[in-house]
Amino acid sequence: MSFFMKTKKTKRIIMPIESVLVMIIGLAGGLAVGGGFVAFLTVLGVVPRVTQLTKTQRLLSYYVWAIIVGTQLGSWASLYTISFNQSALWLIPIGLAAGTFVGMLAAALTEVLNVLPILAKRIGVIDRIVLLLMAIALGKMCGSLFHWIFFVEN
């Protein structure tokens, strides 16, 4: 129950305001995460790299649609508890696909980390590059711990 819901009259006034506020916050959060995901893929150049390595430039539109559909399905699936009563053999191709994605993401991040020293030199923080990398690593660690401690039920 909300802090503001003391009487029935206030409840009738505040409930729609809270609902609209929650919708705006949800939309803003979704746009921020979606924009960040697209920027992340763009900066890392995952799609051009895949087409270059596999020599399938003519299939570029299929790669783009695969990312769009996969992201949308993943978003919808995260809203529900989905159970597939299938054979454990399905874990093999799913694991291979997930491993391929993680491997490609790690390779792309390695390339970005190679860019960090150049960027640090250009913006004049080359003497603090270790602090910059430590801040990135500690930020990731603190964010993960915060998520696991406060949002994941035992």
Asked if 112 and 44 count as a contact pair (C-beta separation under 8 A), the reply is yes
**Percentage above 90 pLDDT, the chain:** 6
Task: Judge whether residue 119 has pLDDT over 70.
Answer: yes
Using a cut of 0.85, tell me whether the model's pTM lies above it.
no
Task: Judge whether residue 118 has pLDDT over 80.
Answer: no
Task: Judge whether residue 4 has pLDDT over 70.
Answer: no
Question: Which of the four pLDDT bands, split at 50, 70 and 90, describes residue 30?
Answer: confident
Q: What pLDDT digit, counting tens, does each position of 33-50 carry?
A: 877 777 777 777 778 888
Q: What pLDDT digit, counting tens, does each position of 52-93 carry?
A: 888 999 998 898 898 889 888 888 888 888 777 888 888 899
**What average pLDDT does this structure show over 16-42?**
83
Beta strands per DSSP E along 18-125 = none
Quote the tokens at residue 124.
């004049």
Question: Which of the four pLDDT bands, split at 50, 70 and 90, describes residue 133?
Answer: confident
Q: Indicate the SS3 state at residue 5.
A: coil
Q: Is 23 exposed, middle or buried (CB count within 10 Å of its CB: 0-12, 13-18, 19+)? A: exposed
| Cβ-based neighbours of 154, under 8 Å, separated by 6 or more | none
DSSP 8-state class, residue 45: T
pLDDT value at residue 58: 92
- ∠ Cα 145 150 153 (to 5°): 110
**Dist. CA 79–CA 82, nearest whole Å:** 9
